[in-house]
Amino acid sequence: MQHIVIGTAGHIDHGKTTLIKALTGRDTDTLREEKERGISINLGFTYFDLPSGKRAGIVDVPGHERFIKNMLAGVGGIDVVLLVIAADEGVMPQTVEHVNILELLDIKKGIVVITKKDMVDDEWLKMIADDIKKYLGSTFLKEAPIIPVSSINGDGLDILTKTIDEMTQEIEDRDVVTDFRLPIDRVFTISGFGTVVTGTLISGTIKEGDLCEIYTKGIKTKIRSIQVHEESVKEAGAGQRVAVNLSGVKTDEVQRGDVLSKVGAMESSLIIDCRLKYLKDAEKPLKNRDRIRLYHGTSEILGRVIILDKEIVNPGDTALIQIRLEGSIAARRGDKYVIRSYSPMHTIGGGTILEPNAAKHKINDKKVIEELLLKEKGNPSEVVEKTIEKFSNVFPKKEDIIKLSGKGVLNAEDIISDLINKGKIFEIKSGDGNVYIHIKYIEHQKENASKLLKDYHGLNPLKAGMPKEEFKVKLFGKNIKQRLYDELLLLLKEDTIDLSENYIWLKGFEIKFDDKQEKIKEEIIKKFEEAHFQPPKAEDMLKGFGKEEKSAKMVFASLVDMDKIIKINEEMYLTKENYEEAKNLIRNIIENNGFITLGEFRDKIGSSRKYAVALLEHFDTVKFTKRLEDKRVLY
């Protein structure tokens, strides 16, 4: 079912609240001060039963310039605006500012309501209507119907009601597919129920019992109950005004400007990238690092503007900008925003958020500008691919990609599958769910791995390769999960690296000994081969090389890295051939007898008990054998 929200806009004292009361029979001014002063200060809310049977929510906004921030908190979720202009005054300063704001927020539909027609004659009314039409000729309301009414005697209200009803038939359906978002505009307590928040649900569906999170506070809570237009419901959809009773939340923990959404559906950010439309009636150019007030959803946050694609922004220009905020924001790509000057406060521009979780950029960075233009273009497949490419280094899961791709990408899962089929991204198994990385990330890491290993081999020409753990930390960081690391190594192994159980080396790399080192190598191997299963202590053997001891140590370490010599323990080493011979002896005896004892093994290899024990314990450790009391069996 389609849900409609109607909002008012217009100058102070032009009769917005009186008009709503005449249409609905309900007064949206609820504060004592509002009634005493006769002006709206805060947002007012009610509903309107249309002739077609639809029930539309109504948001009544204040018109006074001092309460523009309250007005901004109310208009972001509306479908149809009633621009209220008094017949006795015509277009006034807040009329202009409100229309600017509505355009910046991309409100599509509107009706111009000339109120107080009972206070002027027909000639004056026609003149005011002509002036209004002329002023609106360059705005989104240039084709809007203009309807004079009297909220006092009811003249014209039936025409207005019919026009509203007809216009609601043209409203596009809201996004009910993506995660729900509720920008909070009011917070209060109901005795016996606790904290209640209200707002216009701008996307998704909420249900009683849903777990949710308050952004940017990071408070997790549960929906206890929901009301729509003062009636209890089990669920509500995008486009409805809702009141939500939250479980376990105090009123001082939540405020206007916060956003209620699914747990983990959004990310808080202090930096956003945007397309800015700078109003032509702004008083002066916008410069780098100008301080501004940002309005997004129901929030107001101070920040500074960084202009990315030009030096300054002149009135009437557009630009790509970054806003570095003084407080956190929870936004989605495609969201609209408005900025006002810091002091004095005037609306100066607004536009679309292109990247809600941005990093700091340098001015005139061509790559950054190219990426933002792509995001602005909004091709869903390109946006998803670019998102994966940008965040491959943090190994995003599917839900991360959907969240980071932002508003408007409704079929992200299908796009991801298509990108996998086209070979543009890889799906990789991880310890806690599959991750997705772009082929460009792999190519980049292949280049990094090549350079890393080339430098390592240059400094360590006699080492078989870089230890696996060291390679992991330098290329991927220490926090990467082991399973994911192993999968990434397989991708690098295709044409960049080779690896063993302990080492990684550049494909094609071989240890090359010079003549002196080659001679030392042969002598070391000969000593160990001749000693058979009673090898010399490595330390003593190496000291025997005298002045060449340093070179001998390097060659010996290299032979161990290359598995030419196998380390049994700190004191015992065997050549690869002798090691395999010992394994085969054990295997044959166990296969014939079912087990082997220490004494049998010692006698078979013709060695002392010390060496036999060391070898059997080593084979237990590497899970070749398993000890059962005084016997060994194959593992």
Confidence of residue 67 (pLDDT cuts 50, 70, 90): very low
Question: How many C-beta atoms surround the C-beta of residue 112 within 10 A?
Answer: 20
Q: Is 32 exposed, middle or buried (0-12, 13-18, 19+ CB in 10 A)?
A: exposed
Q: φ, ψ for residue 99 (rounded to 5)?
A: -65, -40
Confidence of residue 345 (pLDDT cuts 50, 70, 90): confident
Structure tokens at 25: 């029979």
Structure tokens at 468: 């696996």
- Mean local confidence (pLDDT), 462-488: 92
pLDDT at 240: 85
Looking at every residue in the chain, the average pLDDT score rounds to 88
> With pLDDT > 90 as the criterion, what percentage of the chain qualifies?
54
Confidence of residue 34 (pLDDT cuts 50, 70, 90): very low
pLDDT at 383: 84
Euclidean distance between CA atoms 225 and 234, whole angstroms: 7
Confidence of residue 160 (pLDDT cuts 50, 70, 90): very high
Confidence of residue 587 (pLDDT cuts 50, 70, 90): very high
Q: Tell whether the model's pLDDT for residue 63 goes beyond 60.
A: no
Q: Tell whether the model's pLDDT for residue 59 goes beyond 70.
A: yes
Q: What string of H, E and C letters represents the secondary structure of 136-167?
A: HHHCCCCCCCEEECCCCCCCCHHHHHHHHHHH
pLDDT at 101: 87
Set out the domains of the chain in order of their start, with CATH numbers.
5-168 (3.40.50.300), 181-262 (2.40.30.10), 268-372 (2.40.30.10), 378-512 (1.10.10.10), 526-634 (1.10.10.10)
Q: Tell whether the model's pLDDT for residue 32 goes beyond 50.
A: no
pLDDT at 27: 62
Q: Tell whether the model's pLDDT for residue 315 goes beyond 70.
A: yes
User: pLDDT by residue (tens digit) across 293-308?
Assistant: 999 988 899 999 999 9
pLDDT at 42: 44
Euclidean distance between CA atoms 353 and 448, whole angstroms: 33
- Mean local confidence (pLDDT), 117-131: 92
- Mean local confidence (pLDDT), 30-44: 43
Q: Are 413 and 388 in contact (CB under 8 A)?
A: no
Euclidean distance between CA atoms 8 and 45, whole angstroms: 11
pLDDT at 565: 93
pLDDT at 33: 42
Structure tokens at 228: 């729509």
pLDDT at 60: 76
User: pLDDT by residue (tens digit) across 127-145?
Assistant: 999 999 999 999 999 999 9
Q: Tell whether the model's pLDDT for residue 598 goes beyond 90.
A: yes
> With pLDDT > 70 as the criterion, what percentage of the chain qualifies?
93
Euclidean distance between CA atoms 348 and 341, whole angstroms: 6
pLDDT at 193: 82
Confidence of residue 69 (pLDDT cuts 50, 70, 90): low
Confidence of residue 413 (pLDDT cuts 50, 70, 90): confident
User: pLDDT by residue (tens digit) across 515-565?
Assistant: 899 899 999 999 999 899 999 998 888 988 888 888 899 899 889 888 899
pLDDT at 35: 38
Q: Tell whether the model's pLDDT for residue 74 goes beyond 90.
A: no
Which region holds residue 485: left if phi is over 0, alpha if psi is between -120 and 50, else beta?
Answer: alpha
pLDDT at 410: 63
